[in-house]
Chains A and B, each alone.
Chain A
Amino acid sequence: MRAFDSWLEGSTALALRRAVRTTLRAAWWWLPGLILVSLLLLRMVPDLQQWRIAEVRLSECGLQPQARAQQLPMFIRGVGCMLLKAEHDLAGQDLQDRALLLSGVGRDVRIWINGVQVRQFDPNPHFDSTTIPLLQPLHSSTLLNGSNEILLQLRSGSGLFDRSFVGALLVGPNELLQSVHRRSIRIGAEGAQLSIVVALAIVLMALPIAWSRPGDSSYRWFVLAVLSSQIYVWNMAWPLRPAPTLLWHLLAHGGLAIALWSISRYSLRVAGRTDEGNRRLDQVALVGLAGLLLAVFDTSGGNPALVGDVVFRISLLAQLLMLANFWWHRRDNALARWMACAAMLCLWLGITDSLRVFGILSPPLSPYVLHWGILYVLGVLLVSQLRHMLAALATAERSQERLSEALDQRSRQLQREFTLRQQAEQAQALAEERQRIMRDMHDGVGGQLVALIGQVEAGKLDVGLLKPQLRRSLDDLRLMIDSLDDACADLSVALGMLRQRLQPSLKGLPLEVHWQTAHLPDLAPCPPEVVLQVLRIVQESITNAIKHARCHRLAICADWADGWLKLSISDDGVGLPANAPPGRGLPGMRQRAAGISAELQISALQPGTRIELRLRLGRA
């Protein structure tokens, strides 16, 4: 159509060149069809003119047959009997090894030669439209050396579409006619056999797809249709099988109709024209189905098989036209081009075949070639399916490669990000830890040293106080170091460490110290700041008790129950003076406790004081 458009625009030469180029480029889809048709034509047309019957006379037997007088083929329609009289001149010819070859459609065939009946033949008593391929060897005694009279009687059925016809009636050398007869049958059989092989290949390929798509019925229909289409050609593939039955004929034509229907649906689907196309297609299919049912329940005495034949051909024509339409709209689609090519061939074969079956047009002894067209349709489907599958595979592989590459890239990126993030987090943790340690130093040792320097500078240094103050700084430094030891993340171990640290300085005092910390279970690890603050609070409580309370007994108890660690430091000293300003260090202790979300309680005993620290803490 592009060529046509260009021509309309005026540049004819360019349009022609483009049309030629386009056609040549598309040769891969029309060339196989051309080759197939050429092969068929070459094999189909034997030069049998010299064996034609010299004269044909038609006699009435019932209704008036329509025929071109004196010429084969001829056919009769409706209830009727054809009596055909032919003369054949055998003057000067060898009478040995002659044979008669008859092709046509009809039943109750009778042949007389020179008044002698040589054959009575009924292909199928219930089925009178079977194509007759008949080869009758003739005895030399029945033939005359001169003009011979051949009388042929043929009956047709009584239905609306019933007809009988004679396509060829030949007398000739037995050997030659036999070879023509065999070839005619073989061409049909080969086409049918090839068609079956291709159909099986398609089914084998389509089955896994049909299975892998449980929600999509189109492929299953497709498989069913391709299989059922082969019922039709099965009998032609092996012509020596018994004559077909009525049921077989119905099945075959129905199956083929379904095949065409589903294949058309499939190609419409592929072309993306599902809605409108399928609606029309379904209408055609319904008409075909109605026709088939009509044929089955036809009580007019007609031939149901013939009705099936007619319905099938109508549906074939309709669907091939639809394929052509499909191609018209999707010329750029490779499958559409294939299908159009196949449709054209099928159409041509189907029309010539139909014309032959209905006796309008027929070369003598032409084999039944419609299934060669079907073979081409199936071949197109096979190739397109293969291409489709290969393309899908390649796409899948490509996308898998792309995916895995993307995955690699992403995981590398994630790895990089993770490393960066980890480094950043580590750096941040490190910075926070440094800051914490600096703060602790500032609060503890640093502050104490600054205070001492202040005292020295002010000249108020009490040498007696210097040693305990320095000792306190060193102890605090050791607490900090202990709290950083990961073994001390378990508070029960940290308390053990504290006890050991304090032991030497407590040893020399007139004081009874009870440690009840050994029965603690293993505790969940605590961050160093919590450990440090707990240790500081305990240490400060002990120091306060010794320094200010003038106690004789000191008890440090630790208990753990229901997710709470309870630490208490009790003394029997003078206690906190009532209404006195808070003792030294007590606000600091409260602050420390609040900093680690612990509860600090100070209660008076009789006598003495108890400091209790409660901290939410799990077990290890």
Chain B
Amino acid sequence: MASVLVVEDEPRTRDRLAGIITAHPRLRLLAHAGSLAEARAVIAGDLPDVVLLDLGLPDGNGLSLLEELRTRGRDIGVLVISVLGDEGSVLHAIERGAGGYLLKDASDADVVAAIDQLLAGGAPLSPSIAVHLMRRLQLPPPDAQRQLEANVGLNQRELDLLKLIAKGLSYDEVGQLMGLRYNTITSYAKELYRKLQVHSRAEAVYEAQQLGLVGRP
């Protein structure tokens, strides 16, 4: 049983999401919180497996909670709750460690499917996110690249995958074209998310070095 924390300030959505999770046999609702403070109080005690996180909370931005969760060490899946699914804010959240996003008006089945996918180690890749990943990871700045121990650039296979997804192909169709299984593709997606996080961290370090905020190694 995977435990889920719902962080959402709007009561109706919060109750609906809590209801879906409570009703599901394989999921357990750890708690629901209406603010950052409440969420912090929950995770201080017990860590959830999955967090459904709204970004616009009354006492701050949900992104700060993402940072805190990442420092806790355990692999906690975070789905950002988005009204419009606009890629700018979603991508920003992914860079901070989110594992995907959930539309507020998603059907019950879609909510469960998204949580399942996350728990199975996958991540949703929309065409627009695919294009952003391509752009951000295909040509890392040479200096930033030098700073990295691991190469976070795209390999050819990942690039092919992203190109197909950018054109709107579903995971199944991509799998057929590339001769990959569904699970392989979701793990690819996860890996791409990870790379983007590493990449954005490396860029942050690089920028900080350029600004003289931290010393050079």
Contact = CB atoms under 8 A, between A and B. Distances in A.
A518 B130 CA distance: 14
B168 A504 contact: no
Interface stretch (A325-333, A406-414, A477-485): A477-485
Given A488-B128, A497-B126, A517 B167 contact: yes
A423 to B, nearest CB: 24
A488 B126 CA distance: 11
Chain A interface helix/strand/loop/mixed: helix
Interface in A466-524: 474, 477-478, 481-482, 485, 487-488, 490, 492-493, 495-500, 503-504, 515, 517-520
Contacts of A478: 84-85
B68 interface: no
Given A485-B128, A487-B128, A497 B168 contact: yes
B104 to A, nearest CB: 10
B131 interface: yes
A428 B73 CA distance: 48
A474 B168 contact: no
Interface residues of B, number: 24
Contacts of A504: 106-107, 110
A482 B86 CA distance: 7
A500 B167 CA distance: 10
A108 B37 CA distance: 134
Contacts of A520: 167
A474 B105 contact: yes
A376 to B, nearest CB: 72
Nearest to B86: A481
A393 B126 CA distance: 70
B170 interface: yes
A517 to B, nearest CB: 6
A503 B106 contact: no
Nearest to A517: B168
Contacts of B132: 487
B78 interface: no
B19 to A, nearest CB: 19
B106 A495 contact: no
B126 A518 contact: no
A370 to B, nearest CB: 80
Interface string A87-101: 000000000000000
B205 interface: no
Contacts of A500: 126-127, 168
Contact of A497 (B106, B110, B127, B164): B127
A496 B84 CA distance: 17
Most buried by B among A487, A492, A503, A518: A487
Contacts of A498: 168
B173 interface: yes
Contact of B167 (A481, A485, A488, A492): A492
Most buried by B among A503, A518, A520: A518
B88 A518 contact: no
B86 A495 contact: no
Contact of A518 (B107, B110, B173): B173
A490 B166 CA distance: 10
B43 interface: no
A500 B129 CA distance: 12
A500 B127 CA distance: 8
B191 interface: no
Interface string A518-556: 111000000000000000000000000000000000000
B87 interface: yes
A496 B168 contact: yes
A496 B169 contact: yes
Interface string B104-146: 0111001000000000000000111011100100000000000
A501 to B, nearest CB: 8
Task: Point out which of B126, B130, B135 has the most chain A C-beta atoms below 10 A from its C-beta.
Answer: B126
A532 to B, nearest CB: 14
Nearest to B132: A487
Contacts of A477: 84
B165 interface: yes
B127 A518 contact: no
Contacts of B126: 497, 500
A503 B124 CA distance: 14
Contact of B84 (A481, A487, A492, A493): A481
Query: Which of B84, B168, B169 counts the most chain A CB atoms within 10 A?
Result: B168
A493 B173 CA distance: 16
A485 B168 contact: no
Contacts of A493: 127-128, 130-131, 166-168
6 contacts: A493-B127, A493-B128, A493-B130, A496-B167, A518-B169, A520-B167
Please give me the 9 A-B residue pairs with the lowest Cβ-Cβ distance, nearest first: A496-B168, A496-B127, A487-B131, A499-B168, A518-B167, A487-B128, A481-B86, A496-B167, A497-B127
Given A517-B167, A520-B167, 11 more contacts: A481-B84, A487-B87, A487-B135, A492-B166, A493-B130, A497-B127, A499-B168, A503-B170, A518-B169, A518-B173, A519-B167
